[in-house]
Amino acid sequence: FASRDVILGPNSGFNDRDGEVHELSLSETILPKDSIFTFRVGVNLELQRTEGDDYNRNVWTPWVEVGCKLPADFHLGVTYAHRFEEYLDDNSVSGFTEERDDDRDTWSARLERPMNSWLTAFVEYRHMDNDSNIEPFEFESNVVGAGVLIRY
């Protein structure tokens, strides 16, 4: 990820992100009878209004996830999401000459296994490709992670 300092460059007077974020997430899960597969689809909506113009934006992200039960109590989930980011003001990095417009494709795969009723271990891989009309915001990212989930 690019840091805020890199993104905003010399226009540091415009990096104030105080404001409001309103979010809505809708999803549906499909569990076919007697199947090892699960299917989830959804959309996330975000309206962000800030005091600094660089972050006033509307974002919507449709996504789909396919899950599969594997032997030895493992579960594999594969997710694809496409994030549309529409910025509402001219961006400081462009010299305030154009509004930023980003589209981000994200693919992820997560393998998890319950250790007991409250502890689950996981490993995850995520690939992101962010396409932007303003060059410093265009990037590709690959992240590998591992951890545990505690449910209580």
pLDDT at position 17: 60
Tell me the pLDDT band of 3, cut-offs 50, 70 and 90.
Answer: very low
Give the Cα separation of 11 and 114 in Å (integer): 48
pLDDT at position 51: 76
Structure token digits, residue 3:
């840091």
- Is the whole model's pTM more than 0.75, yes or no? yes
Q: Tens digits of per-residue pLDDT, 7-59?
A: 333 334 444 567 888 898 999 999 889 999 999 999 999 998 887 677 888 99
Mean pLDDT of 139-143: 96
Q: Coil, strand, or helix at residue 33?
A: coil
- CA distances from residue 75 to 1, 105, 143 in whole angstroms, order as listed: 28, 23, 20
- CA distances from residue 117 to 11, 78, 110, 152 in whole angstroms, order as listed: 51, 23, 19, 9
